[in-house]
Chain A
């Protein structure tokens, strides 16, 4: 078995920790998510390991449940944006001509509007529920994935083996999924790690601004918002979810780097 680099091990450990917390939140959280169990901004104690928040809820429980929401929304939005973005990007590259022009210019148009402002406008007229959040975030982010996958695929479509497939009479579907996708996977996987992080930041930003996950549901951006006033009084409650966001971002990237170096191996990258 080949050795896993230390950086990837650290990343994997943190990712596993957060994933475990998110999946089993209901079992490991000491208190309920919205349960008021103490005074406002109690310091850390044996009863409340991280203290309590602005209205006396257990902060550790809030963080664990918040992680569940944040990670779920970010994952779902990333999957949506990759499915939509890469299929459209590869189609544009393979089809070429006016299909490519239409899709590319449309994506340029969307990208010319800042994503955050676009999201705020859409969410201010739509009911803010989790599915709506996921769809809005996923589709907005799909434009970035589209650009990357199209750029990668354009380089691959000029290879002789793609021409050989065309000469054989293969349809676009085969060319996209069998000839191009396996060769475009390495940069896409690396990008996926990065985009997941942007999704975490995106949902946290939206929640912080009040248009993301709605109370009483917890998420990390929302917890920062609820506790931000405490910073003035020297209460660190707002920094803990911020720390969680930062460590998640770094560790996912460490893992993505490692996956990238593995899939770039000459042997086709599907071994082991």
Chain B
């Protein structure tokens, strides 16, 4: 018997779209994709959003999500075509032979049920084991996945464990019925880098220990290179390249793959230190009604036309720093000096010019623009508000700004819903630019975007900085972005700045413990990187 587990032949997947002004029409999402997966192997599916990677992954369960239909082709699992199965056959297949690990563990667990009940549910329901056997298996898996207290963690509720732990519990849930194939759908995308590395190595170890085959779906090539045996690159529902990991990373054949591999390689030389435009001195802040300082004694400076990158995990206080600087959250202690004058702590006390010179760009461009305003209104309002531009003069200036963000003509009368993710973020940049600011606060502006699109946004921001001499306070959790754009870096951890200085100094040894951990956790586009990091950590902890 040959060892082919999954054989997908010429798969086509379609969906029906309902445009607001036209009749519904059928479109094709995946156009004739074929691949095979051997038992015990891991295939990474990679591509930007909309490439069809999740859709293809779910077809291995003969499932189409949200109105998506499998319209053609064959999917053989263990030799039988599962697209021909009826409902009863599919029920036996799903949660037994093929299981699924979703991206957002927090949303995928039922908050009202204990973890153990959810982990063993499918196994027991399928009659694969008695409740006691399934629980014993789950406890063993919890141990393999490196969860604390494997014996008792199952008695907790989802909100009582961290996001990284929840993701590992979900992996245990998927492995519990001893499936022959697991589909991992972006399991680490929503996690911090330092957590991601733990989950990643736990998943990899569990895959090796159980000998299960897996489809690993992600948009991060560096991540998928760590866990997969082979990689399939997808774009717009077509296979671009399918090869062994080493070949994809080290010798990509296609232009698109090459672009993905070389992403985040923007070269940015650090500027000389200069007199500060913005000074934040001894800032301490807490949210109303909470007896906990979110920021503790934070002092940073930004020079005109330069970029300060504020790096840290979620909860480190980096976004709070932005809220304090903008005046949305008046600090309990400390002072903000902008261009030599002290800024009033609260938003209400600031002059219109103070507001104009300090603009903000948000992470989610979707919610940062009023869905009922056109692009022209969104960019035009600051022009009208700050400079009194009206009518044709305003429209001409909006077009000028659109040209500057490389969007050109034809966008001025569109609504945000008619733009792509990258275009939306560009419009937000144009809105900030319209005010002729001297400092723009960028709050995770690229983290919701695909790598190639994010690269474009970073390049645009750097170009604009060169043209307009605007300074950035760039808040991010992504160190690769920091390397690409920063002149100065502040590393934040639990509300404190643990490391601060010019980029060349902050990113050079000797490191403090936290910066070291952070730097070591950023996935590198290299085969075997994960093993090296995990091994070096073990040596360190053994030496302590």
Which residues of A pack against B, CB within 8 Å? 2, 159-161, 163-164, 166-170, 178-179, 182-183, 265-272
Contacts and interface: CB of A to CB of B under 8 A. Distances in A.
B326 interface: yes
A2 B352 contact: no
Nearest to B323: A163
B381 interface: yes
B233 interface: no
Interface of B: 20-21, 326-328, 347, 350, 352, 355-356, 359-360, 362, 364, 367-374, 381-382, 385-386, 415, 417-418, 431, 435
22 contacts: A161-B368, A167-B326, A168-B355, A168-B385, A169-B350, A169-B352, A169-B356, A178-B370, A182-B370, A182-B372, A183-B370, A183-B372, A266-B415, A267-B20, A267-B415, A267-B418, A268-B371, A268-B374, A268-B415, A268-B417, A271-B20, A272-B21
A163 to B, nearest CB: 7
Contacts of B374: 268
A164 B385 contact: no
A124 to B, nearest CB: 45
B21 A2 contact: yes
Contacts of A265: 20
A271 B360 CA distance: 31
A270 B370 CA distance: 14
Contacts of A183: 370-372
Given A266-B20, A268-B374, A164 B368 contact: yes
A167 B385 contact: no
B344 to A, nearest CB: 13
B367 A161 contact: yes
Contacts of B369: 161
A179 B371 CA distance: 9
A272 B21 CA distance: 10
Nearest to B368: A160
Contacts of A163: 328
Nearest to B372: A182
Contacts of B368: 160-161, 164
Nearest to B350: A169
A160 B362 contact: yes
* A-B residue pairs, 6 tightest by C-beta: A182-B372, A160-B368, A266-B417, A169-B355, A268-B415, A265-B20
Contact of B328 (A167, A179, A269): A167
Contacts of A270: 372
Nearest to B418: A267
Query: Max chain B CB contacts within 10 Å: which of A170, A265, A268?
Result: A268
Contacts of B347: 166-167
Contacts of B359: 167
A169 B362 contact: no
Contacts of B20: 265-267, 271
Contacts of B364: 160
Contacts of B360: 164, 167
Contact of A159 (B355, B356, B367, B382): B367
Contacts, number: 66
B184 to A, nearest CB: 31
A167 B352 CA distance: 10
A160 B359 CA distance: 13
A267 B327 CA distance: 33
A241 B350 CA distance: 62
A178 B417 CA distance: 18
Nearest to B435: A168
A113 B5 CA distance: 69
A140 B28 CA distance: 54
A167 B355 contact: yes
B426 to A, nearest CB: 15
A267 B362 contact: no
A266 B18 CA distance: 11
Given A163-B328, A168-B385, 8 more contacts: A160-B368, A167-B359, A178-B373, A182-B370, A183-B371, A266-B20, A268-B372, A270-B372
A165 to B, nearest CB: 8
Contacts of A164: 360, 362, 368, 431
A70 to B, nearest CB: 35
B407 to A, nearest CB: 19
A163 B352 CA distance: 16
Given A2-B21, A163-B328, A170-B385, A269 B362 contact: no
A83 to B, nearest CB: 20
B314 to A, nearest CB: 17
A267 B373 CA distance: 10
Nearest to B359: A167
A152 to B, nearest CB: 14
A163 B368 CA distance: 8
Contacts of B417: 266-268
Nearest to A169: B355
Contacts of B356: 169
A152 B20 CA distance: 24
Query: Max chain B CB contacts within 10 Å: which of A164, A183, A272?
Result: A164
Contacts of B385: 168-170
Given A167-B326, A167-B328, A161 B370 contact: yes
B414 to A, nearest CB: 9
A272 B386 CA distance: 33
Contacts of B326: 167
A173 to B, nearest CB: 13
A166 B328 CA distance: 9
A170 to B, nearest CB: 7
A159 B370 CA distance: 9
B372 A269 contact: yes
Contacts of A159: 367
B363 to A, nearest CB: 8
Query: Max chain B CB contacts within 10 Å: which of A161, A182, A270?
Result: A161
B352 to A, nearest CB: 5
A211 to B, nearest CB: 43
A258 B359 CA distance: 41
Nearest to A182: B372
A169 B328 CA distance: 12
Nearest to A181: B372
A268 B435 CA distance: 25
Contacts of B381: 168
Nearest to A162: B370
Contacts of B382: 168
A179 B370 contact: yes
B100 to A, nearest CB: 29
A270 B413 CA distance: 12
Nearest to B361: A164
A268 B360 CA distance: 24
A160 B370 CA distance: 9
Contacts of B431: 164
B544 to A, nearest CB: 44
Contacts of A271: 20-21
Contacts of B435: 168
A260 to B, nearest CB: 14
B367 A160 contact: yes
A82 B121 CA distance: 51
